[in-house]
Chain A
């Protein structure tokens, strides 16, 4: 028996070439590839003649767990060349890894992600030894750019070193044990004929050891539990999505560049990368002079020479372009030096460079491919064109509405809602939809099939993709869409993304709006069944913390009351009151913020008033001497705006604290006429926070205090036009001034 173990890095052109060459020269009986074993009986589907990149999508659902993951294949995937050349030489082809739904792959979204992350210590040491920035540069340095001779040995040495003595996790061990059994069975069946095994390089040392001894029977393909649904099928894929995995799920970056490396070698790829970057920049009217290009090329060649590359590698070209084209300080480090997704503030030239690297190739499935289950789940129930009116009061209406919303979120053409509940008011109980036929519907459904097996799962996937980097308003839309689609809970990473996006909000007003909506939906929502949901709870908790943080940072002198800002503090108070204990919000910290802002000289008056009100209303009767606080904080010039904040938050406390109304009356009465006129519009606005009934109560008490017998209604009613009253008062004032000037009255 002769088993050739090829340890590869997924999506590496050098490895792909090595795999193809090896299979052609060895002409094995079996080619065993790391991939989902449950696809083995459908191997022919892969060879229908698709345009790559494509992916095998696996969706899984049981009562406890939902999971979707991809096994992406492109022209230069070693797994793909193993399959195609294996077929060419007439070998038996087998995928030998566990199915994607298996619990051992529960954390995996991209089967062909790098495993380096788990061996960070060793790779870090290697990067230092070779003086390169990161694993990607190291990989190019050692493998992609070097001549092919001795590649297999170098790869083996590299992966042996990286894996070293590190014990694999239990998930990896389960996978390796399973793969090893396939290898033993194939080797036994092949007899004298050779077998080629293509797996991720990190598995290779373990597989070689495990393949030595053990059971030689053909392994069973695991079946999903009885109460679970699992489906795998082909979906079109794109370079953009291939490059979009982040963190632990990311594989080799820059598919566009490596496609060129695969097609025509590193020299040509470097040239085409420069061309693409130049074209993109010139399209956006950024000057790129010939001198710049000469400098870029010279620098790239110089870097290649310095780093010992026979030809400029990916980072050499990029470094050269960055040196020559970026003529100013940059805000965030070069993305190819740090790895990971693009960060905000990346220099526009660098953004174009990354886009050029990523490429825009999109895969297409052959028309005879089996359609993804999503298509079968949607088309029979979608119905013909026409108008639909749904009553959301009935379960059937809600069910249909959720279905249509899921399609809307997936951007399936011909599904349009003309009216229905909106974010601002969710009280409407009817929805109208217009369905039209569209030729683009089937392709759109096939594309959407990459998000999940049924509309609910697919919509959840599509919505989750919109969260990272979304602004507050978009987030509110996404949350509302989540409710409309009946997605239920967002979990794990998506929830983290959501919390991070809320935590990055910078505008207090819009944060307040989001908090209000989220809190209302969290507290009581029967229509969408979002009451008490973890997702919304996360939003409420994060938004409350963030709002307090922002409130403390607001500076500014006297300015008209900002109602949105005040609304944000109202939302904070409601959140602390109604959700505080169950979401673990820190009321003491909030009171600390409120007390500090209330007395700060450089905070705007409305915010000071609102903060005083926040502290007062949260403490209730336990508040320490509010009268003293009010007297201390009252500044005639900005009284109206200050009161607006106070009344918005502590209306009832003001009304029901003995002596408070009298105190306010006294303070307002002491204002000079000029101050009063300046403050009048703001005062009107402030008292507008009291409902009519309470305004009447105030009037009654004021009249009692001032005029004794008169009716409160007299204060509330004004028979004359306001202009006339103002003119009269102005006349009074002039007369008084004249009298005073002539010494007829004394001030």
Chain B
């Protein structure tokens, strides 16, 4: 399956690592879990001795708290800016805790209860009436029946009343199927069932969660990478891999990447490294976005001139990716680039600032 799939789920991508962790795992496991908490933590944060790769760059304590939350009777709510690897983290946690990360509900304006709980095979429903055979279980029902982690992506993009169908599964741990009779009308959650939801702080106010639902979750905010060097390393590694896949022969230049990552960090924080206030862009200035700019810079340089991307390429790419179609952001970006700073690449960026459109 691995060869033809664009992106296999975490439990398949890291099947070896999970197996190794399972074999070496001697600690007690919470009921219904595939790994102990410590093994699950090693899966996410890496362990050189066992040959487990580090998959999430961030505070280890975030992982600790998330895992402990999953072992209690509250759901885990991962919130943060777009592009802070919330979904990746939720996938990794689900894969570590229950061995599967595919019980996923993608939230959206058109998400209905059917897609969360269950729906029917209508041909069978008409032929036989409601029965377990004609019932089509959706991720929540399956997660409860099998004792697995259910992932709910972008929960705040769903209408409130749809979100609230999580209330009784999370508090009473039971899901009623009124169409069925007898013991099958109630599905009780088995040990191991819990919910990891993700929500975007940019969506705040679109569909504010109800207080009742909030109480059933522990909130964990995922932040952009705090450390400059770590972020630079990550952007460099990812951009290099992307460029290789795109057939670019030259690796990205480190000095250009340094300018890129600094720009992204400062426009994201609204503060320069020295502490001066600058403007915050309303667009998304995530590490993922920085990687895609670095990729675009590399592509421009290579396919237009046959060399690594330089500062001028960076300025041209910033306009399209960082400022998107927002004239306010473009103006802020221009103001940011107007500043003079020491350093060859900063000078080159300053000279190329007229490449911004408009």
Interface residues of A (CB under 8 A from B): 131-133, 137, 295, 298-299, 302-303, 305-307, 315, 319, 322-324, 326-330, 333-334, 337-338, 500, 503-506, 546, 549, 552-553, 586, 589, 592-593
Contact = CB atoms under 8 A, between A and B. Distances in A.
* Chain A CB within 10 Å, residue with most, of B217, B221, B335: B221
Nearest to A586: B340
Nearest to A328: B219
8 contacts: A131-B45, A133-B59, A315-B61, A323-B219, A327-B219, A333-B59, A500-B274, A503-B276
A132 B64 CA distance: 9
Contacts of A592: 338
Interface stretch (B9-17, B71-79, B97-105, B312-320): B71-79
A330 B64 CA distance: 18
9 tightest Cβ-Cβ pairs between the two chains A and B: A302-B68, A503-B276, A329-B79, A131-B60, A500-B275, A504-B277, A337-B59, A306-B37, A330-B221
B295 interface: no
B68 A295 contact: no
Contacts of A338: 226
Given A131-B45, A337-B59, A303 B219 contact: no
Contacts of B204: 329
Interface string B215-229: 101111101001000
A503 B226 contact: no
Interface string B272-291: 00111111000000000000
Contacts of B340: 586, 589
A549 B338 CA distance: 10
Interface of B: 37-38, 41, 45, 59-65, 67-69, 71-72, 74, 79-80, 199, 201, 204, 214-215, 217-221, 223, 226, 274-279, 331-332, 335, 338, 340
Nearest to B48: A129
A504 B218 CA distance: 34
Contacts, number: 100
B69 A299 contact: yes
B214 A328 contact: yes
B226 A333 contact: yes
A306 B64 contact: yes
Nearest to B272: A503
A504 B215 CA distance: 37
A302 B72 contact: yes
Given A295-B72, A327-B214, A503-B275, 7 more contacts: A131-B63, A131-B64, A305-B37, A323-B68, A329-B201, A330-B219, A553-B335
A503 B277 contact: yes
A328 B335 CA distance: 33
A354 to B, nearest CB: 16
Nearest to B81: A329
B61 A132 contact: yes
Contact of A329 (B37, B218, B219, B276): B219
Contacts of A589: 338, 340
A358 B141 CA distance: 47
B351 to A, nearest CB: 13
A306 B221 contact: no
A306 B332 contact: no
A326 B214 CA distance: 10
A327 B278 CA distance: 30
Contacts of A303: 64-65, 68
A319 B277 contact: no
A332 to B, nearest CB: 8
Nearest to B79: A329
B41 A131 contact: yes
Contacts of B221: 329-330, 333
Nearest to B275: A500
A328 to B, nearest CB: 6
Nearest to A323: B218
Nearest to B214: A327
B15 to A, nearest CB: 23
